[in-house]
């Protein structure tokens, strides 16, 4: 009987492969078998018909995943627009916005030659020569492009969305980079990881219109193109990387990282004996062209060949030539001993020449020494002792462990795993990513804001870890299932499966283990996704111009005091009024209030800032003299005592004292402290209680009831009752105070008539 034959046959097949597996071998009822078999066959048939398209399927999947990641990277950065509005955030972006506006209105040449007399009064600032124009030019080009295509957008919208747009582009670069150093699946994972990594989002949310927004894209692009150039040895790619470098130089001061990391990488390759003509072509082309291009940026100019930070690249460039020359000589000279002598002579002369050149250059001042910022990167304690203005910025503080955890989450654990995989498969490309990862991790530890630079490397390396692990586990599962289907073929299958076969024998519950591990990986990744979304929406999407708090009934309360004050200044003061404030608010005042400021966030002149610091920490009479000298019309202070807003001028005051005291020894920090303690209540130092800053912040504050059950004049930001409630101003008068007292503006009175 035919059915019998069938069942017997199937039985036999199962018997053959059933030896390997005991679980799937629970004999099904014989009656059901033919049907089972048929469906199995059908499956196989349909699989066959799909088989032709596997490649296209894979391509389709890859492209759609990339597209989704691209979109995701963009939309996750729009929280701030939804929560608040389409606006520019924080401090520096306001300067960038103002310059972009200038660029789009007046054109490139006006922009390039712009002398801004509205800041650093009375010195002014040569804006065209002291900024990195990449960001503004990019935004302006996008703006002009859209205008050309007849989309009547406002330049503000373009500026707000520039950073998310470039973040999306970064995911593409991350994909290609990952593909270059590992494989395309690692690239996909890298793209997905970097799309939502908080370390990157912190600087690229909509509205955060800052250099870093495009610079990370440029940085990663340059690295990718360089690695590609090293891998292919093609002039085209190295040329492309030179242009990538040019874009980076035009966008951000962080290009110094590239110009030091790449030589370091080349040096490591040379030392580890991985020198090749590919490397020679890639580095020389990239360095020479990149240097020439970078020198076109006015802010960089001849620094690129003269300053200490760029010397390493030049040194490696010459070293490359010597290396090549020696290689050539070695090829010509067949005698080994002769070559060794030659080698000794050449190396000695080269090193001698280099040392002499460096010495003479440094001594004559032709080669400028390292800047303070560079020093503070190499030695984290340097800034604290020598440059208070760098140390005073919160984003220049050393990074706490918690913020690593906050910004990287699971990547922090995946990073070492990825390094392990990289070391397991050392190639020129993986060496590069390892070096990038390790150096940037060090810098991230030195300064909070450099976490940003480390983020792409961490994402890429973690992506390698995730992708390699998942791939191994998935292959394990797939071979297993194949084995159950394909029967005895396992033994015959070639070397490819042999390692798995080995594992197979050693671990009986391997399949379950793999499933469990896979589930674990997906659990971790989904945790990462939720963490990133949470961080983005809660921590990194606040514009910091508008403050939001929860009211007593859980409703959202908005403190829009900054804009209130800036708009008041813009509308109700003479157009040529000079406003004195601490430098943090300089950019915002020039951009939003359109008034001249004494100092701003471009902290190029320490003495000028110190003068303002001195005025703020002097008695009113002395401060009045300084203000008269600076032609100050209005003084603006930020005060959080009413709302409990803690980053106000009273909390920043010690830095003013320090920076002021650094230039003017009249100001001494101990005068403002009591037993080394900084206080504003009754026990405060007398100088503190009567200095200008204290008076301006607390003027008439003593009469105000801020909190129920507390005496009048209770400072909610510091939780104390203030020490000087009877403040009289002699040379200044209150001109405006915002509704929540966050910004207070005082008018400087003209001098009294002498008669």
* Helix/strand/coil for 721: strand
Q: Which is nearer to other proteins, 611 or 724 (CB)?
A: 724
**Considering only residues 20-49, where is the footprint of other proteins by CB under 8 A?**
45, 48
Rounded least distance, CB 363 to other proteins, Å: 50
| Run of H or E including 211 | helix 211-232
Q: Which residues contact 285 (CB under 8 A, 6 or more apart)?
A: 229, 235, 238, 239, 242
User: 33 or 414: whose CB is closer to other proteins?
Assistant: 33
Q: Is the dihedral of CA 158, 162, 168, 169 positive or negative?
A: positive
List binders of other proteins among 53-72 (CB under 8 A). Answer: 54-55
Residue where the block lists tokens 């200008």? 692
Piece of the chain touching other proteins by CB under 8 A; list 441-449, 507-515, 560-568, 683-691: 560-568
Smallest separation, CB 592 to other proteins (Å): 5
Handedness of CA 171, 173, 177, 180 (dihedral sign): positive
Binding mask 701-730 for other proteins (x = CB under 8 A): --xx--------------------------
From CA 359, how far away is CA 371, in angstroms rounded?
Answer: 18
Nearest distance from residue 322's CB to other proteins, in Å? 31
CA dihedral 372, 378, 381, 384 (to 10 degrees): 20
Q: Which stretch binds other proteins (CB under 8 A): 383-391, 602-610, 659-667, 731-739?
A: 731-739
> Binding to other proteins by residue 739, rule CB under 8 A?
yes
Q: Work out whether 16 is an interface residue with other proteins (CB under 8 A).
A: yes
Which one of 90, 157, 428, 560 is in contact with other proteins (CB under 8 A)? 560
By CB under 8 A, name the one of 342, 370, 406, 736 that touches other proteins. Answer: 736
Which residues, in sequence order, are bridge partners of residue 116?
125
Q: Which of 113, 296, 572, 647 binds other proteins (CB under 8 A)?
A: 572
Contact 737, 564 (CB under 8 A): no
**CA 233 → CA 239, 670, 703, distances in Å?**
11, 62, 75
Q: Say if residue 335 is exposed, middle or buried (CB neighbours under 10 Å; 0-12, 13-18, 19+).
A: exposed
Q: Which residue in this structure is represented by tokens 């290609």?
A: 176
Q: What angle do CA 647, 648, 654 make, to 5 degrees?
A: 95
C-alpha 167 chain-centroid distance: 11
Distances (CA, A) of 87 to 96, 106, 155, 161, 521: 13, 22, 11, 10, 38
Closest approach of Cβ 635 to other proteins, in Å?
14
Q: Does 8 bind other proteins (CB under 8 A)?
A: yes
Nearer to other proteins, 4 or 23 (CB): 4
Residues 128, 110 contacting (CB under 8 angstroms): no
Among residues 19, 36, 51, 499, the one that binds other proteins under rule CB under 8 A: 51
Number of residues lying near other proteins (CB under 8 A):
55
Binding mask 242-281 for other proteins (x = CB under 8 A): ----------------------------------------
Helix (H, G, I), strand (E, B) or coil at 579: strand
User: What's the DSSP call for residue 589?
Assistant: I
Q: Which of 579, 723, 741, 748 binds other proteins (CB under 8 A)?
A: 741
Which CB sits closer to other proteins, 274 or 725? 725
- Per the DSSP assignment, residues forming a β-bridge with 732 are 748
Instruction: Indicate the residue among 147 and 679 with the shorter CB distance to other proteins.
Output: 147
Residue 494 or 665 having the CB closest to other proteins: 494
Q: Which of 66, 73, 78, 87 binds other proteins (CB under 8 A)?
A: 87
Q: Under rule CB under 8 A, which residues in 581-610 are in contact with other proteins?
A: 592
Provide the mask over 392-431, with x wherever binding to other proteins is found by CB under 8 A and - wherever it is not: ----------------------------------------
Interface segment toward other proteins; rule CB under 8 A; list 321-329, 344-352, 503-511, 558-566: 558-566
Site string for other proteins, 193-232 (x = CB under 8 A): ----------------------------------------
| The two three-digit tokens of residue 85, written as one number | 């509005």
Cα-based distances in Å from 286 to 192, 249, 663? 29, 13, 43
State which of positions 476-495 bind other proteins (CB under 8 A): 482, 486-489, 492-494
Residue 402 structure tokens? 């918690």
Binding mask 496-535 for other proteins (x = CB under 8 A): x---------------------------------------
Q: Where are the strands (E) in 586-740, listed by range?
A: 596-597, 634-638, 714-715, 720-721, 732-737
Window contacting other proteins (CB under 8 A); options: 3-11, 237-245, 651-659, 716-724: 3-11
Query: For other proteins, which stretch binds (CB under 8 A), given 61-69, 122-130, 146-154, 321-329?
Result: 146-154
Return the range that interacts with other proteins (CB under 8 A); candidates 51-59, 135-143, 166-174, 398-406.
51-59
Position 5 contacts other proteins (CB under 8 A) = yes
By CB under 8 A, name the one of 157, 564, 671, 721 that touches other proteins: 564
Q: Which of residues 309-348 bind other proteins (CB under 8 A)?
A: none
558 is a contact residue toward other proteins (CB under 8 A): yes
Tell me 548's DSSP state: E
Please state, in angstroms and rounded to a whole number, the distance separating the CA atoms of residues 167 and 563. Answer: 28
Count Cβ neighbours within 10 Å for each residue of 590-629 and write b for 16 or more, e otherwise: bbbbbbbbbbbbbbeebebbbbbbbbbbbebeebbebbee
Shortest approach of other proteins to residue 37 CB, angstroms?
10
Q: Does 6 bind other proteins (CB under 8 A)?
A: yes
Contact predicate 437/461, CB 8 Å: yes
Q: Is-contact 741 642, C-beta < 8 A? A: yes
Long-range Cβ contact pairs of 726-734 (< 8 A, separation 24 or more): 726/702, 727/695, 727/698, 727/699, 727/700, 727/701, 727/702, 729/620, 729/695, 729/699, 730/620, 730/621, 730/624, 731/620, 731/621, 731/624, 731/627, 732/620, 732/624, 732/635, 732/696, 734/699, 734/700
Pick out residues in 152-181 that bind other proteins (CB under 8 A). 152
Residues that bind other proteins (CB under 8 A): 1-2, 4-6, 8-9, 12-13, 16, 45, 48, 51-52, 54-55, 85, 87, 149-152, 482, 486-489, 492-494, 496, 545-546, 558, 560, 563-564, 566-568, 570-572, 592, 700, 703-704, 733-739, 741
């Amino acid at each position: 009987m035919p059915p019998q034959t069938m069942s017997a046959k199937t039985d036999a097949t199962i018997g053959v492969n059933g030896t390997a597996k005991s679980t799937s071998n629970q004999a099904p009822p014989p009656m059901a078998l033919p049907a089972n078999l048929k469906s199995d066959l059908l499956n196989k048939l349909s699989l066959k018909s799909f088989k032709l398209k596997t490649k296209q399927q894979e391509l389709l999947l890859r492209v759609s995943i990339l597209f989704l990641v691209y979109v995701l990277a963009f939309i996750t950065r729009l929280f701030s627009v939804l929560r608040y509005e389409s606006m520019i955030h924080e401090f520096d972006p306001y300067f960038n916005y103002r310059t972009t506006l200038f660029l789009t209105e007046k054109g490139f040449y006006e922009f390039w030659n712009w002398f801004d007399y509205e800041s650093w009064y009375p010195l002014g600032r040569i804006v065209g020569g002291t900024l990195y124009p990449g960001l503004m030019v990019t935004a302006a080009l996008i703006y002009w492009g859209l205008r050309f295509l007849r989309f009547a957008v406002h330049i503000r919208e373009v500026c707000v969305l520039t950073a998310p747009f470039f973040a999306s582009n970064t995911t593409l670069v991350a994909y290609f980079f990952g593909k270059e150093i590992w494989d395309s699946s690692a690239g996909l994972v890298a793209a997905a990881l970097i799309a939502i990594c908080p370390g990157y989002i912190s600087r690229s949310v909509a509205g955060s219109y800052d250099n870093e927004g495009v610079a990370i894209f440029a940085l990663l692009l340059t690295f990718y193109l360089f690695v590609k150039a090293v891998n292919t040895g093609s002039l085209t790619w190295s040329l492309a990387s030179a242009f990538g470098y040019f874009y980076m130089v035009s966008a951000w001061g962080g290009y110094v990282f590239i110009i030091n990391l790449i030589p370091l990488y080349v040096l490591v390759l040379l030392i580890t004996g991985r020198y090749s003509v590919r490397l020679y072509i890639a580095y020389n082309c990239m360095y020479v062209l990149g240097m020439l291009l970078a020198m076109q940026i006015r802010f960089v100019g001849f620094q690129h060949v003269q300053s200490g930070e760029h010397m390493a690249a030049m040194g490696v460039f010459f070293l490359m030539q010597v290396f090549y020359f020696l290689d050539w000589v070695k090829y010509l000279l067949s005698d080994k001993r002769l070559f060794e002598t030659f080698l000794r002579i050449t190396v000695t002369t080269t090193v001698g020449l280099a040392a002499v050149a460096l010495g003479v250059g440094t001594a004559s001042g032709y080669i400028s020494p390292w800047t303070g910022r560079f020093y503070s990167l190499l030695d984290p304690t340097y800034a604290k002792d020598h440059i208070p203005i760098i140390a005073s910025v919160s984003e220049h503080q050393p990074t706490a462990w918690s913020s690593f955890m906050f910004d990287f989450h699971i990547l922090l654990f995946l990073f070492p795993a990825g390094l392990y995989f990289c070391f397991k498969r050392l190639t020129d490309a993986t060496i590069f990513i390892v070096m990038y990862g390790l150096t940037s991790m060090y810098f991230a530890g030195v300064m909070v804001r450099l976490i940003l630079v480390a983020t792409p490397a961490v994402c890429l390396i973690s992506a390698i870890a995730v992708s390699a692990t998942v791939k191994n586990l998935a292959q394990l599962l797939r071979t297993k299932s194949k084995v159950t289907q394909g029967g005895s073929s396992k033994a015959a299958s070639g070397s490819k499966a042999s390692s798995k076969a080995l594992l197979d024998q050693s671990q009986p519950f391997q399949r379950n283990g793999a499933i469990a591990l896979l589930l674990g990986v997906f659990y971790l990744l989904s945790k990462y996704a939720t963490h990133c979304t949470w961080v983005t929406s809660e921590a990194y999407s606040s514009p910091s111009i508008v403050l939001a708090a929860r009211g007593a009934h859980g409703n959202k309360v908005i403190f829009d005091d900054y804009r209130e004050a800036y708009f008041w200044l813009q509308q109700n003061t003479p157009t040529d009024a000079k406003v004195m404030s601490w430098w943090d608010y300089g950019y915002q005042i020039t951009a939003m209030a359109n008034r001249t400021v004494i100092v701003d966030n471009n902290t190029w002149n320490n003495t000028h800032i110190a003068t303002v610091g001195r005025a703020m920490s002097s008695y009113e009479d002395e401060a009045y003299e300084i203000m008269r000298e600076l032609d100050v019309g209005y003084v603006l202070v930020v005060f959080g005592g009413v709302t409990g807003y803690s980053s106000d001028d009273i909390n920043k005051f010690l830095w003013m004292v320090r920076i002021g005291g650094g230039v003017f020894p009249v100001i001494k920090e101990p005068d403002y402290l009591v037993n080394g303690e900084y206080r504003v209540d009754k026990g405060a130092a007398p100088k503190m209680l009567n200095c200008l800053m204290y008076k301006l912040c607390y003027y008439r504050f003593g009469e105000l009831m801020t909190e129920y059950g507390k005496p009048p004049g209770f400072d909610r930001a510091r939780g104390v009752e203030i020490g000087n409630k009877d403040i009289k101003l002699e040379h200044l008068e209150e001109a405006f105070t915002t509704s929540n007292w966050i910004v207070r503006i005082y008018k400087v009175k003209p001098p009294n008539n002498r008669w």
